[in-house]
Amino acid sequence: MLTKIHHVGIVVRSADAALAFYRDTLGLPLTADAVIEDQGVRGVLLRCGPNEIELLEPTRDDTGVARFLAARGEGMHHVCFESTDVAADLAAAREKGLQLIDQAPRRGLAGMICFLHPKSAHGVLVEYATPVPEGHA
């Protein structure tokens, strides 16, 4: 079951430069900052009430985030829904015939995550995430 918008993902050229805006100017507190090696990104989470902003800075050139940045520049990348059970919600999406990017949940900055293809979501990359207590990869 999807329970709320967990975060909005934003691709940035430099997480440090983006923190000058989101943390220092807007005043949002930082809740996680980690390099996820297998995804080639530095992910930074900032809290705003019950929701978060996720900054994604590519650390290599051969990733989807790097290609997004090269093709479109900085900007909104995905919307993440919090799920009570990411495996069950992914299975439900598959049964409904939605196009998936991930066939199984995997570890991400927000917990256990998966992505649905924008073609099944009216042009928006959709993430599901089930936070885990030690959730930050």
Chain residues binding Co ion by CB under 5 A are 9, 54, 80, 127
- CB nearer to Co ion: pick between 23 and 106: 106
- CB nearer to Co ion: pick between 36 and 87: 36
Residue 24: CB minimum distance to Co ion, A: 22
- CB nearer to Co ion: pick between 57 and 127: 127
Residue 34: CB minimum distance to Co ion, A: 13
Residue 84: CB minimum distance to Co ion, A: 17
Residue 122: CB minimum distance to Co ion, A: 18
CB atoms within 10 A of CB 105: 20
Residue closest to Co ion, measured at CB: 9
Q: Residue 123 is which amino acid?
A: G
Q: Find all residues with CB under 8 Å of 4, minimum gap 6, and list them.
A: 50, 51, 81, 82
Distance CA 56, CA 35 (A): 10
Cα angle 21-42-73, degrees, rounded to a multiple of 5 = 60
Q: Find all residues with CB under 8 Å of 76, minimum gap 6, and list them.
A: 8, 9, 10, 11
- CB nearer to Co ion: pick between 21 and 81: 81
Task: Provide the 3-class DSSP secondary structure of residue 48.
Answer: strand
